[in-house]
Amino acid sequence: MNDSSHIRQEIEAHLQRQRCYQEGGYTRSVSKRLDRLARLAEVLKSYEPDIMVALRQDLNKSELESYTTELGIVLEEIRHIRRRLRRWVKPRKVKTALTHVGSKGYIVPEPYGTVLIIAPWNYPFQLAVSPLVGAIAAGNTVVLKPSELAPAMSALLKRVLGEVFSEDEVVVLEGGVEVSTALLEQKFDYIFFTGSVNVGRIVMEAASKHLTPVTLELGGKSPCIVHYDADVKLAARRIAFGKFTNAGQTCVAPDYLWVHKDIKEELLSELKIAVQSFYGERPLQHPDYGRIVSRRHFDRLVSFTGNGRIVMGGDSDEELLKIEPTVIDQVTWDMPMMKEEIFGPVFPVMEYDSLDQVIQGVRSHPKPLALYLFSESRSVQQQVTESLSFGGGTINDTLMHLATPYLPFGGVGESGMGSYHGYESFKTFSHEKSVLVQTTRFDFTFRYPSSKHALKIMKKLLK
């Protein structure tokens, strides 16, 4: 038996066990779901040192960054959902139409069944466990495929989740493309994918063969706009944080910068100050500055520095796989760095005279996953948010819309479909089943073919 056949058989066996577990009704108990989530939070806290070590090994993340962008977000997600889950699972009564007098209508959330979660490498803990929390809260069983590009975290997830869940409930399948390919050949009840646009297309095509619903959390070129009335010093600090956290390997990182010509030089100067305050004069030597995940991504990012005018950074270390926070001015749309999502610490800059120029530029490209605007003007804020379509964003900050469970997170157009976090996670992994309970106390005979005045009565009712 070859490796691919063995992988396929292993996956089919896991799916069979999870479907039997589902059909046995073991995931229906809300109390059991709450217990599992409580146990998950407890175990994650006990493994905090191991999580920090794994993230350091895979991406050189500091403990502060690892907690705030990975573990802390997940623990808050669990806390938020556990406090509200009993309310969310209750059937919701809806209004009765005039034609349905005497009946009662309900929307009943139920689990999809067995779901596949494919996680990326850039936030290998948070982007694996956060959707898992939603799937468990909704009563599903889960097959989780972590990224092989974050091997330390992949192995740790298998160990940690194995302490909380039986493989009938959650199974972690490690491996590379061959495992992902074999998984996508199977019929799941739902697929949740986080990753690149190109792979997202492959996932959607595979899901379509089984008519499996999907959530795609993708990416794109997320613009950051700094208007002339912005608090430039504060904007620079918050932009540097959003762009260079995790060495820019963040799906909602500002991808490129639009800055008003009147404040461009001041903003570039403040960006240098902000980066130096974060990572010192030699970021490549800073122990907490992130590294690029692989040589392939490193080489791609370094190639971008050959265009435009470097105004900050530009150095790299191929042994450490580190690239300095790099800002490039005099950028045009026809340059390679503007034709794809950068996903690294390279920051192109374009200047503008009027907001119309910015709006037209953003509209002429695929809808971004995120958008950031720095301006004190309410009218400018309204103009930008109403004129442009994007997955989500923040005004006068970066990244922070991602970190609240009260806001749905997701893309639009090529940047993704579907959303999650908080209640949206529960909704994403739940099918909302419609149920009508009809009265037997009386019967409207005009609906039957034998009624002589049925058409006249129906026209009056539906007018």
Among 396, 400, 344, smallest CA distance to 69 is for: 400
| 217 is an active site residue | yes
Are 301 and 342 within 8 A, CB to CB?
yes
Strand partners, 316: 323
Are 428 and 112 within 8 A, CB to CB?
no
Among 117, 237, 228, 129, smallest CA distance to 183 is for: 117
Alpha-carbon distances, residue 81 vs 57, 137, 210, 325, 352 (angstroms)? 30, 8, 30, 37, 43
Catalytically annotated residue among 217, 270, 351, 414 = 217
Question: Which pLDDT value is given to residue 2?
Answer: 62
Residue 415 has pLDDT above 80, yes or no: yes
Query: What's the CA gap between 67 and 165, in Å, rounded?
Result: 23
Residue 1 has pLDDT above 60, yes or no: no
Residue 102 has pLDDT above 80, yes or no: yes
Q: What is the pLDDT of residues 202-238, one digit of tens each?
A: 999 999 999 999 999 999 999 999 999 999 999 999 9
Catalytically annotated residue among 251, 324, 341, 424 = 251
Q: What is the pLDDT of residues 301-312, one digit of tens each?
A: 999 999 999 999
Predicted confidence band at 444 (pLDDT cuts at 50, 70, 90)? confident
* Homologous superfamily of the 3-218+414-435 domain (CATH): Aldehyde Dehydrogenase; Chain A, domain 1 (3.40.605.10)
- Beta-carbon count within 10 A of 437 CB: 9
Query: What's the CA gap between 15 and 176, in Å, rounded?
Result: 19
Per-residue H/E/C for 361-411: HHHCCCCCCEEEEECCCHHHHHHHHHHCCCCEEEECCCCHHHHCCCCCEEC
Query: What's the CA gap between 278 and 274, in Å, rounded?
Result: 6
Query: What's the CA gap between 225 and 209, in Å, rounded?
Result: 41
- The CATH number of domain 223-406, selected from 3.40.309.10, 2.40.30.160, 1.10.10.10, 3.10.20.740: 3.40.309.10
Q: What is the pLDDT of residues 329-357, one digit of tens each?
A: 999 999 999 999 999 999 999 999 999 99
Q: Where in the chain are the domains?
A: 3-218+414-435, 223-406
Across the range 265-276, mean pLDDT stands at: 98
**What element of type H or E holds 7?**
helix 3-23
HSE of 67, CA atoms in CB hemisphere, 13 A:
6
